[in-house]
Chains A and B, each alone.
Chain A
Amino acid sequence: MATANPSALFDFADQLALISSEVLRFRIKNKAILSQDEKSRLEDIEIELDKVTAKVRAKGIASLGSVTATKRIEVETATKDAEALLRRIKRIERALDIATSVLNLAIAAIAGQPQGILTALNTVKDVVAGDTA
């Protein structure tokens, strides 16, 4: 199904709104000569016109969303690509953190410090968990 032109829909909505305003002004201007029933019917017409105006404007927004959907997806993809590079850099940082924490563990093991081994082991676990998070 072809996408309706947003401008045409917004133009149509403006026309409907204009007619509603004209009916309102006619009702007020001729207050004295219109019967209560006529005034009430005119106001009901205004309400209906306002409802249709909102519906057509909403269709205009939907159409605007459809005609720009491809562009929006293109921008979202570009955003994800930028995010991916920043994530890659973070991964390099994490890899270096892991290497440093493993070396800490090795140093503690070589020195035969049980408490140091435990602390270093926990740090390795934390860093690795951060990498996969």
Chain B
Amino acid sequence: MRLLYLGLMPVLLLTGCTTNLKPVREFADETKKISVAFDPVINQAVEHCKQQFLQRRIYTTDKPLKGFDPEGAINEASDTCKPITDQMATAKEMSKALSDYAGQLSALAADGVASSVDDNYDALAVKLREFKDIPQEKIGAVSSLLKFITRSIIAKSQHDAIVDALSHEEAVGALADALVVYSDRVYSAYIQERLKDQPVFTDQLRAESASPISSRLRILDVYQQTLTLQEQHKATAGLRAAVSQMKMTMRDLRQNIDRLSSQERLAEVQKLSKEVRSLYQQLAKAF
């Protein structure tokens, strides 16, 4: 038994002081928010593809009005954008992997993980006290020691698991970068193309002389739509900035895993929180 205690000493010494896991927890929570922020971007890419197709067919076509079939136009837009729809799962897989990772890292770094068994030990000790044959003075001591050892072992495992989770920095960064590429090269590409179409649609409406009131109303719609598209385009810059800061914060945490309580860690995580806050403000304007 003494040997067991001696063997556990390094563990107890290592974990004797409670590690401040707040920076890891906050990093994980902010990363989760970033992964969630990609959801509207992934879903909206298909919608932008369809709208681009439909609006070109409505505003610029020279085909006779009597042949215009709304159902056929919608079906053709869906058909045109089907390859993008089919690939949505690929992007969703990436954002889910990032979101699940962040969720588990947050749970791992949660308050009270190491002491979660304390209550169970206390309940057990209360029951043991009801057995009169067991020396009462020993129950409390043994129970406290077991509680301390278990808590220490859990804390050490928790620390090792966090070190391991953060060691996948490159893979996590690569996934987040891939989502940024999706946002820039698919979602944003369609928005930029639509933004270039907007003045063309306005010119087409101005050239319409048959119904000027209706044209004015449609010009107003096109203008408001342009403003929305501009805000949605800005959101991609917010995603890029948040991912960039997320990678820097993760590197900082990994490199300073034994200095989590320092002010620098907190400052680094606060930089990430600021970027994520700004991203969500932009998303609120865009969607």
Contact = CB atoms under 8 A, between A and B. Distances in A.
B104 A57 contact: no
Interface string B92-104: 0110011011011
Size category of the binding interface on chain B = 35 or more
B62 A36 contact: yes
A86 B233 CA distance: 40
Interface string B106-142: 0110000100110011011001101100000000000
Contacts of A88: 157
B257 to A, nearest CB: 15
Contact of A64 (B107, B123, B131, B182): B182
A10 B171 CA distance: 22
Contacts of B181: 6-7, 10, 64
Interface stretch (B15-23, B160-168, B208-216, B267-275): B160-168
Nearest to B158: A85
A86 B120 contact: no
Interface string A66-79: 01101110111011
Nearest to A55: B83
Contacts of B80: 47, 50-51, 54
Given A57-B185, A96-B121, A82 B62 contact: no
Interface string A31-55: 1000010011001001100110011
Contacts of B158: 85
A39 B62 contact: yes
B100 to A, nearest CB: 5
Given A40-B63, A82-B107, A92-B150, A57 B189 contact: yes
Contacts of A17: 189, 193
Interface residues of A, number: 57
A10 B185 CA distance: 6
By Cβ-Cβ distance, the 7 closest A-B pairs, closest first, are A58-B83, A96-B120, A65-B90, A103-B127, A82-B104, A61-B87, A10-B185
Interface of B: 49, 52-53, 56, 60-63, 76, 79-84, 86-87, 90-91, 93-94, 97-98, 100-101, 103-105, 107-108, 113, 116-117, 120-121, 123-124, 127-128, 130-131, 150, 154, 157-158, 161, 164-165, 168, 170-172, 174-175, 178, 181-182, 185-186, 189, 193, 196-197, 200, 203-204
11 contacts: A55-B83, A61-B182, A75-B98, A85-B158, A85-B161, A86-B108, A89-B113, A92-B150, A100-B120, A100-B123, A100-B124
